[in-house]
Chains A and B, each alone.
Chain A
Amino acid sequence: MSTLVITELMDIEGIDGIDTYVKNKGYEGLKKALKEYTPDELIEYVKASGLRGRGGAGFPTGLKWSFVPKNPGKPKYLCVNCDESEPGTCKDRDMVTYLPHQLLEGIAICCYAVGINQAFIYIRGEMLEGYEILEKAVEEAVQRNFLGDNILGTDFSLDVVVHRGAGAYICGEESALLSSLEGERGFPRLKPPFPAVEGLYACPTVINNVETLSTLPAIMRKGAEWYSSLGTERSKGTRVLCLSGHVNKPGNYELELGASMRHLIEECGGGVMGGELKAIIPGGASAPMLTKEHLDVALDFEAIAAAGSMAGSGAVIVINDKTCIVKTCLNLDQFFEEESCGKCTPCREGTKWLVDILTRMVNGHGRPEDIDLLKSVCNNILGNTFCPLGDSATSCIMSAFKYFPEEFEHYAHHGCSILEGKKEMAKS
């Protein structure tokens, strides 16, 4: 059994209630932070732990906090990114549903370190249950003075508001999240200014992922050194990986960073379901695909990047060999087309075009020149968009071309999937 940091307490019956949580050393980390550390020391402590943001980019958390101006003359805010919408990813939902107090404790620790008195949890609208649970948890925590005014007798006060989104993937992008939280359309914003300087209401803002913050209580309880001893040289600690798709036992597995993809899929997930392994998407729908050759790649930020993909949200999607890759790409791009905010041209028009071409191919009307056209459209989107959403829409196609070019060729020349065998082109 891998060392558990985040989900350690999740098995305990009734852990979503504050009593059970407190009984199980809940809020000890916050107490320790408030008693033993000044905010600056706390930031150094988190830096020392090597904790990196779990939202996708893997930015060192302590460093991110230290960018926030100390005395900006304005309020500072924390926004908790719980707009988990990346296809394949569902760990935040569990963390919020089953361990809401662990998140709140993490929020309190973070706010104390950065000097924030107001935190917002941006939870995606579809997680109605999570919203209700968090609301209740906040109420409980305020009653027990873990949140609210003068927390545990100190002069640190913190107000937490749970904010419900309303169905827009783009709001998971941190600046779009801010727009949305201000009551605007969820358009990503220009950077600079970065949120740490001018974020919510043009005030300094920290934006952290649920998993990142949920890790903090354990780090406080067990020590930065303990945490940094987990994982690999550069990717410390553990990570909750969402294993989904064609595996026998899909689920959220917390593993030390550095565990291999093979371990996750075969040991934890009980092997591939319904066939042989064909492709793996290792970091949510935005990440480029890998193949069975990459089974021994370690699931940490660096190793996956080196293999040509990205660790992203930690969602590992397994695809078996009975699945048509072109249709998979179509499905993935339909998502990006639907969720493109429409602000910038390449993403708005490009995702639609990709979907149009792939749909036509899947319907048997592919043309040989569509291969180059797809590549070219991807290339024209890549690097030209306002935010990374547009790039994400191209990663599945580009990687599929790399590993499964024959599938596209087959559609282009024969009008059907390679899995259906060679048929005459369905062309009049």
Chain B
Amino acid sequence: MSDATAKGLLTEETKTRIRELMAKYPKARSAILPALHVVQEQLGWVPEEAQDEVAQMFEMTPAEVRSLVTFYYMYHRKPVGKYVLKVCRSISCWLRRSEDVEHNLCEHLGIECGETTEDGMFTVVHGECIAACVNAPAIQVNDRFLLDVDPDNVSEIIDRLKAGDPRYPAAVESWKRPEESKGE
């Protein structure tokens, strides 16, 4: 263990958080997915060295951890940009031009979907339904929602992100009850 700490990627804080997670479950192994989220939070992605360290903490085999990291698509298996723009491409967003959102974003940034800009700022990926169907098309920036995106004005998103507004995208937008014409 001391060896791993010496040259490990994970900070002591990350490890403490993982240990806290492990304590929450009757069987520690249950905490593996949340733990990998913590790792990704620290490193931005889940490199193999980190998988190995996590395996040690969980007394799992590194191969098992790799198997999990590759099964769950939220874990990045290669380094990503500071902002990961996940464009939903599932049906509700697709019906409302998510393809254009993706295309325009990529064109604006000069990358292909799945790539990262050279300055390491933006990665565009496509995602399956992100549960924002009534606000389609929607994208997620580092797991925070940007709803009702205008496909023709994606540059605004990039500009605002570049400007570095810490409240953008907002944590939660306030609830708006969709207006209903009349009840029965």
The verdict on A201 contacting B71 (CB below 8 Å), with A163-B34, A331-B89, A335-B91 known, is: no
C-beta contact mask, B143-170 vs A, less than 8 Å → 1, else 0? Answer: 1110000000000000000000000000
Q: Are B182 and A331 in contact (CB under 8 A)?
A: no
CB contact list, A1-44 vs B, under 8 A: 1-3, 7, 10-11
* Nearest B residue to A82, CB-CB: B131
Give the distance to chain A from B139, nearest Cβ to Cβ, in Å. Answer: 11
Set of chain A residues within 8 Å of B32, measured between Cβ atoms: 183
* Nearest A residue to B129, CB-CB: A87
Set of chain B residues within 8 Å of A132, measured between Cβ atoms: 171
Q: Are B33 and A285 in contact (CB under 8 A)?
A: no
CB contact list, B109-164 vs A, under 8 A: 127-136, 140, 143-145
The verdict on A245 contacting B33 (CB below 8 Å), with A267-B181, A268-B181 known, is: no
- State whether the Cβ of B1 lies closer than 8 Å to any Cβ in chain A: no
Q: Are A182 and B36 in contact (CB under 8 A)?
A: no
B residues at A contact (CB < 8 Å): 24-27, 29-34, 36-37, 58, 60, 67-68, 71-75, 86, 89-92, 94-96, 127-136, 140, 143-145, 171-172, 175, 177-184
How many A-B Cβ pairs are below 8 Å? 183
Q: Are B129 and A85 in contact (CB under 8 A)?
A: yes
The verdict on A127 contacting B90 (CB below 8 Å), with A164-B34, A182-B30, A317-B95 known, is: no
Beyond contacts A253-B180, A285-B91, A317-B95: 15 other A-B pairs, Cβ-Cβ < 8 A, are A2-B180, A7-B177, A11-B177, A87-B133, A90-B131, A125-B33, A128-B143, A129-B144, A180-B33, A183-B31, A183-B32, A184-B68, A185-B71, A244-B136, A338-B128
What is the interface size of chain A, counting residues whose CB is below 8 A from a CB of the partner? Answer: 73
Give the distance to chain B from A274, nearest Cβ to Cβ, in Å. Answer: 10
* Nearest A residue to B183, CB-CB: A1
- State whether the Cβ of A389 lies closer than 8 Å to any Cβ in chain B: no
Give the distance to chain B from A242, nearest Cβ to Cβ, in Å. Answer: 6
* Nearest B residue to A246, CB-CB: B95
